A and B are shown apart, each in its own frame.
Chain A
Amino acid sequence: MIDVNALVAEDRVHRRLYTDPAVFEAEMERIFERTWVFVGHESEIAEPGDYKTTYIGRQPVILSRHSDGSIHVLMNRCMHRGALVCRAERGNSSVFRCMYHGWVYNSRGDLVGVPYPGGYGPDFDREALALPRAPRVASYRGFVFASLSPEGETLEEHLGKAKDYLDLILDAAPEGTVSVRSGVERYAFPANWKLQIENLLDGYHPNFTHQIAFEIAEDRRGTSGRKANTEGSGALSRSLGNGHGALDYSAINRGYRAGDAAFTRYRQSLEERLGPERAAAVLGADVQLFIFPNLFFQNARQHYRVVRPVAPDRTEVYAYPYTLDGAPEELNRRHVQGLSWWASPAAFGQPDDLEAFVRCQEGLQVTSAEWVLFARGLARQRVLPDGEVVGDVTDEVPQRGMYQAWKRWMADA
């Protein structure tokens, strides 16, 4: 039994959130297996028969495009004895054939082949033995989400205000859509998944954890994240409701977008599509957006990350660069190559965060100190009329919002 009221207060969470296997189990059941979870981008399965395998919480699923173009999220589990029907990470096939006894499913999960069917008698019901589908699947601008719960709020209701920020990020594509075909940076770390989420929304740590990365960036490029992540910089932390949050540097745009010829052409194409005012807002946007429970966007480094909880003390992260459809090739390419500088397991930035997570995981074994504090900026945060909460970039506003949503999902059994 987990008493969430004893684990989460407004300004703090209990150490058990990171260390207790029972909490992890409950997170999988109550959060990941009920809410909307991102499963992939439509461009990853552009052609009929294209598929990729992924996870919703602990459960293996296949994101697949059927011959009629429809998109399906299938549970990756043979209805006969339970083996994965698809082992490959991605590919193209009109069928999934289980390697164990040869049962065959098509790309929308129908059972279309059973060897020696006579052995099952006349009442054998193939229709009942289709691969289970995620009860709800929905897309927003090419981003496919699934929910393992047959009921609940719609994807758009779930996204809520995060949708405005996602629009701001995706409108940077001259054609209005992005493509996810440039591979993926992967890394893992031996600590709890929420340490990564907190960190992606944390404008307090960079000047300490990333001091050396900032020094190097300043010496090479004349700029770094140092000023932006200083208290009072003008950058903001935001809690957007439903657990979503953002660090918003737009007011002091850090100038990642270079002003060369390719950029000028790109800006013109945006102005044609969006008008000068919206184009200026889109180009000025510098946002790190978190979509509860495990999807994170950073438009300045043109990528998103999916955080995969594996065990209480084991997490995998997949960072996907995206390209802006209709943007100049050189602009897109620069971003794909630049990602390894920050987000690979050998990068100049993220590995120092991972060291912090691992130290937290070890430090949180101490039982005489029970609480992890998220009190920063509580007294000075502003609540907007629509419920959004805004604070200084160094304040723990988004983490507080994330844990209130965490608490609601966990309590609502």
Chain B
Amino acid sequence: MPELPMTVAEASAFLFLEARLLDERRFEEWLDLFTNDAVYWVPGHDPDDPAATSIIYDDRPTMEDRVRRLRSPVTFAQSPPSRTLHLIGNVEVEARSPREVRIDSVCVIHETRLGQTRAFAARCEHHLRREGEAGWRISLKKVVLLDRDAPLYNLTFLL
């Protein structure tokens, strides 16, 4: 069996770092984890069809706009801001090429705002690409929420 370009331990450490950056509101550092052609996708009812309605379908500039929004005092849906805790598990790695891997994981996100705590469960798919000295970068982050077909309230924090 050929050696994986990234071990499960390395992949887990990468996802843990991403979760920490999100939970500590280090959003600019979070953006640095992504390639310039990255897509951040939270599908709606159909997780296999990017042409269908999505909850989020961001290219890199839109991801930057999303972070800008989170930093603005007049983003009222995040005033006060959500606090989040991302719990990552079930990490699996699959080689796509010597420089590309796909990481599958599950994520349980606890979010609290205005005294109300909610939990969101999701299956996540990260496509990573090795980019020279920058190391591994995310080219696709796909978050398939368990309750993606329910009418949901305020998902303006980062999933």
Cross-interface CB contact of A346 among B42, B46, B53, B79, cutoff 8 Å = B42
Distance between B52 CB and nearest chain A CB, rounded to angstroms = 4
| Number of A residues, CB within 8 Å of B | 36
CB interface residues, B 112-159, toward A, < 8 Å: 149-156, 159
B76/A321 in contact, CB under 8 A = no
A344/B55 in contact, CB under 8 A = yes
Distance between B109 CB and nearest chain A CB, rounded to angstroms = 12
Say yes or no: is A173 at the interface (Cβ < 8 Å to chain B).
Answer: no
- 1/0 per residue A304-328: CB within 8 Å of B? 0000000000001110010000000
A183/B53 in contact, CB under 8 A = yes
B53/A340 in contact, CB under 8 A = yes
Given the known A-B contacts A209-B76, A220-B61, A352-B77, are A345 and B155 also in contact in the complex, defined by CB atoms under 8 Å? Answer: yes
Closest A residue by C-beta to B65: A216
Closest B residue by C-beta to A316: B151
A340/B153 in contact, CB under 8 A = no
B54/A344 in contact, CB under 8 A = yes
- 1/0 per residue A52-80: CB within 8 Å of B? 00000000000000000000000000000
Say yes or no: is A257 at the interface (Cβ < 8 Å to chain B).
Answer: no
- Complex: how many Å from CA A401 to CA B49? 41
Closest B residue by C-beta to A187: B151
Say yes or no: is A168 at the interface (Cβ < 8 Å to chain B).
Answer: no
Given the known A-B contacts A212-B75, A352-B75, are A346 and B150 also in contact in the complex, defined by CB atoms under 8 Å? Answer: no
B155/A212 in contact, CB under 8 A = no
Instruction: In the complex, identify which listed stretch (B20-28, B66-74, B100-108) lies at the interface while the others stay far away.
Output: B66-74
B156/A346 in contact, CB under 8 A = yes
- Complex: how many Å from CA A340 to CA B152? 13
Distance between B57 CB and nearest chain A CB, rounded to angstroms = 6
Instruction: In the complex, identify which listed stretch (A274-282, A331-339, A364-372) lies at the interface while the others stay far away.
Output: A331-339
Distance between A327 CB and nearest chain B CB, rounded to angstroms = 15
A337/B54 in contact, CB under 8 A = yes
CB interface residues, A 82-130, toward B, < 8 Å: 89
Say yes or no: is A397 at the interface (Cβ < 8 Å to chain B).
Answer: no
B152/A186 in contact, CB under 8 A = yes
| Number of B residues, CB within 8 Å of A | 32
Total residue contacts A-B, CB cutoff 8 A? 100
Query: Chain B residues with Cβ under 8 A from A339's Cβ?
Result: 53
Binding site for B on A (CB under 8 A): 89, 182-190, 209, 211-213, 216, 220, 316-318, 321, 333, 336-337, 339-341, 344-348, 351-352, 354-356
- Complex: how many Å from CA A213 to CA B156? 13
Cross-interface CB contact of B77 among A182, A183, A351, cutoff 8 Å = A351
Cross-interface CB contact of B46 among A183, A186, A347, cutoff 8 Å = A183
Query: Chain B residues with Cβ under 8 A from A352's Cβ?
Result: 75-77
Cross-interface CB contact of A184 among B42, B53, B62, B77, cutoff 8 Å = B53
- Could you write out 8 A-B pairs with CB less than 8 Å apart? A183-B52, A189-B154, A212-B68, A216-B69, A317-B151, A336-B52, A340-B55, A345-B156
B65/A348 in contact, CB under 8 A = yes
Closest A residue by C-beta to B46: A183
B55/A345 in contact, CB under 8 A = yes
- Complex: how many Å from CA A354 to CA B62? 21
Distance between B152 CB and nearest chain A CB, rounded to angstroms = 4
B57/A340 in contact, CB under 8 A = yes
- Complex: how many Å from CA A341 to CA B62? 9
- Of A89, A317, A341, chain B has the most CB atoms within 10 Å of the CB of A341
Cross-interface CB contact of A212 among B57, B74, B159, cutoff 8 Å = B74
Query: Chain A residues with Cβ under 8 A from B46's Cβ?
Result: 183
B156/A351 in contact, CB under 8 A = yes
B54/A340 in contact, CB under 8 A = yes
Distance between B144 CB and nearest chain A CB, rounded to angstroms = 14
Q: Which 6 A-B pairs have the closest CB atoms?
A: A351-B77, A188-B151, A183-B53, A186-B151, A346-B155, A183-B52
Given the known A-B contacts A182-B53, A336-B53, are A356 and B152 also in contact in the complex, defined by CB atoms under 8 Å? Answer: no
Cross-interface CB contact of B152 among A182, A184, A188, A348, cutoff 8 Å = A188
Query: Chain B residues with Cβ under 8 A from A188's Cβ?
Result: 150-153
- Complex: how many Å from CA A317 to CA B69? 23
Closest B residue by C-beta to A308: B151
Distance between A113 CB and nearest chain B CB, rounded to angstroms = 31
Distance between B120 CB and nearest chain A CB, rounded to angstroms = 11
Query: Chain B residues with Cβ under 8 A from A351's Cβ?
Result: 77, 154-156
A333/B51 in contact, CB under 8 A = yes
Say yes or no: is B45 at the interface (Cβ < 8 Å to chain A).
Answer: yes
Query: Chain A residues with Cβ under 8 A from B76's Cβ?
Result: 209, 352, 355-356
Query: Chain B residues with Cβ under 8 A from A337's Cβ?
Result: 51, 54, 57
